[in-house]
Amino acid sequence: MAKVFAIANQKGGVGKTTTCINLAASLVATRRRVLLIDLDPQGNATMGSGVDKHNLEHSVLDVLTGQCDLIEAMQFSEHGGYQLLPSNRDVTAAEVEMLEMDKRESRLRQALAPIRENYDYVLIDCPPSLSMLTINGLVASDGVIIPMQCEYFALEGLTDLIGSIQRIGQSLNPGLKIEGLLRTMFDPRINLANDVAGQLKAHFGDTLYETVIPRNVRLAEAPSHGMPALAYDKSSTGANAYLALAGELVRRQRKAAKAIA
Ligand SMILES: Nc1ncnc2c1ncn2[C@@H]1O[C@H](COP(=O)(O)OP(=O)(O)OP(=O)(O)O)[C@@H](O)[C@H]1O
Ligand SMILES: [Mg+2]
pLDDT tens for each residue of 22-52: 999 999 999 999 999 999 999 999 999 999 9
In this predicted structure, what is the pLDDT of residue 74? 98
Strand-pair partners of 244: none
Range of the domain at 110: 3-260
The secondary structure of the chain, three-state, reads CCEEEEECCCCCCCCHHHHHHHHHHHHHHCCCCEEEEECCCCCHHHHHCCCCHHHCCCCHHHHHCCCCCHHHHCEECCCCCCEEECCCHHHHHHHHHHHCCCCHHHHHHHHHHHHHHHCCEEEEECCCCCCHHHHHHHHCCCEEEEEEECCHHHHHHHHHHHHHHHHHHHHCCCCCEEEEEEEEEECCCCHHHHHHHHHHHHHHHHHEEEEEEECCHHHHHHHHHCCCHHHHCCCCHHHHHHHHHHHHHHHHHHHHHHHHC
Give the lowest-confidence range in 86-90, 149-153, 207-211: 149-153
State in Å: Cα 111 to ligand 2 middle: 22
Strands 121-125 and 3-7: parallel
Ligand nearest to the CA of 216: 1
pLDDT for the residue 256:
87
205 band by pLDDT with thresholds 50, 70 and 90: very high
Question: Which residues, at least 6 apart from 92, have a Cβ–Cβ distance to it below 8 Å?
Answer: 41
Atom of ligand 1 nearest to the CA of 223: 31
From the CA of 122, how far away is ligand 2's center (Å)? 16
Residue minimizing CA distance to atom 10 of ligand 1: 220
**pLDDT of 258 over the 90 cut:** no
Radius of gyration from C-alpha coordinates of the chain? 17
Residue 94 has what pLDDT? 85
Near ion ligand 2, which residues have CB within 5 Å? 16-17, 44
105 alpha carbon – ligand 1 mean position (Å) = 27
- What residue owns the CA closest to ligand 1's atom 20? 13
Please give the residue that has the higher pLDDT: either 256 or 233. 233
For residues 248-259, give the mean pLDDT. 92
Higher pLDDT, 230 or 258: 230
Atom of ligand 1 nearest to the CA of 127: 27
Q: Which residue's CA is minimally distant from atom 23 of ligand 1? A: 13
Q: How many domains does the chain have?
A: 1
Q: Find the CATH number of the domain harbouring 134.
A: 3.40.50.300
pLDDT score of 66? 93
The atom of ligand 1 lying closest to the CA of 217 is 4
Ligand 1 closest atom vs CA 221: 31
In the beta sheet, which residues pair with residue 6?
124, 144
* Mean pLDDT over the full length of the chain: 94
What does the pLDDT read at residue 4?
Answer: 98
pLDDT at 145: 98
Best residue among 7, 11, 16, 18 to mutate for probing ligand 1, ranked by most atoms within 8 Å of CB: 18
Ligand 1 atom closest to Cα of residue 9? 21
Out of 9, 10, 17, mutate this one to test ligand 1's pocket (max ligand atoms within 8 Å of CB): namely 17
Q: What is the pLDDT of residue 154?
A: 77
Of the pLDDT bands very low, low, confident and very high (cuts 50, 70, 90), residue 11 is very high
pLDDT tens-place string over residues 170-192: 999 999 999 999 999 999 899 98
**Confidence at 73, pLDDT banded by 50, 70, 90:** very high
Ligand 1 pocket by C-beta < 6 Å: which residues?
Answer: 12-18, 40, 42, 44, 128, 184-185, 213, 215-216, 219-220, 223, 238
State pLDDT tens for residues 122-166: 999 999 998 999 999 999 999 999 999 998 877 888 888 899 899
